[in-house]
Amino acid sequence: MSDGPAGAPRSPGELMRVFSALALQGFGGVLPVAQRELVERHRWLTREQFLEALSFGQVLPGPNIVNLSLIVGDRFFGWRGAFAALLGLLGLPLLIVLTLAALYGQFASVPIVAGALRGMAAVAAGLILAMALKLVPTLAWNPLGRALSAAALLSTLATVGVLRWPMAYAVVGIGGAAFVAAWWRLGRKS
């Protein structure tokens, strides 16, 4: 291909270092950093290849960014690359977050610490709600149509968020019904 990416990692070790560096820059989400580093800075992937890996990673079960790192690592060095990328992505951030958790455990009863954590939890709730609200407009283009999309969204919120049913029921039941509806609508259009 003439419009392929300009660069490639030289070794699984380099893959691990780059994923480590991008994970450490990712506060509240690693994906935007991943695009900047992998596409614009190191040029291991073209923008289209990145989008392709990302959308495929989203279809698969498991966290998107983990799937993306596995797919990118696998592309260059097979399963060795996949594990190097995964280790880079999770290794140092895991050490940092467990250190924080251990410190929190030591000082959880100190009022200032407990207060700070409550403040952070409130912001975390806001961040997650905002992430969800920003995704709502994308449903306008969903093959399901607005009414069915809204029905699937609200019934998931009601069963999992309010009634606290096990999520498997919602994902399999509501997700299954939404899949069948989308399948039917996609077929009717073409």
Partner 1 sequence: MSFSGADWWPLFAHFLAMSMLAIGGALAVAPDVHRYIVDERGWIDDTQFNAAVALAQSAPGPNLLFVPVVGYAVAGVAGALVALVGMLIPSTAFALLAARWGSRRRDQRGVRAFVAGMAPITIGLLLSTGGLLAMPLARIPGAWLLIVATLVLCLRTQMRPVWMIAGGALAGAFGLV
Residues 23-62 that bind partner 1 (CB under 8 A): 23-30, 52-53, 55-62
Please report, as residue ranges, which positions from 105 to 124 form the binding site for partner 1 (by CB under 8 A).
105, 108, 111-113, 115-124
> Distance between CA atoms of 74 and 69, rounded to whole angstroms?
8
Interaction between residue 139 and partner 1 (CB under 8 A): yes
Taking the complex as a whole, how short is the minimal distance between the CB of residue 82 and partner 1, in angstroms? 6
Interaction between residue 186 and partner 1 (CB under 8 A): yes
Take residue 110 and report the two structure tokens written for it: 């100190």
> Distance between CA atoms of 68 and 56, rounded to whole angstroms?
8
Which residue, 38 or 71, has its beta carbon nearer to partner 1?
71
Which residue, 8 or 33, has its beta carbon nearer to partner 1?
33
Q: Which SS3 state, helix, strand or coil, does residue 108 take?
A: coil
> Distance between CA atoms of 188 and 174, rounded to whole angstroms?
21
Span near partner 1 by CB under 8 A; candidates 9-17, 35-43, 79-87: 79-87
The binder of partner 1 chosen from 47, 101, 106, 107 (CB under 8 A): 101
C-alpha distance from residue 22 to each of 3, 34, 94, 112, 139 (Å):
25, 6, 14, 32, 30
> Distance between CA atoms of 70 and 64, rounded to whole angstroms?
10
Interaction between residue 161 and partner 1 (CB under 8 A): yes
Taking the complex as a whole, how short is the minimal distance between the CB of residue 114 and partner 1, in angstroms? 8
Taking the complex as a whole, how short is the minimal distance between the CB of residue 1 and partner 1, in angstroms? 15
Place of tokens 């450490």: 24
Place of tokens 């410190």: 103
The binder of partner 1 chosen from 18, 38, 82, 84 (CB under 8 A): 82
Take residue 20 and report the two structure tokens written for it: 């480590």
Interaction between residue 153 and partner 1 (CB under 8 A): yes
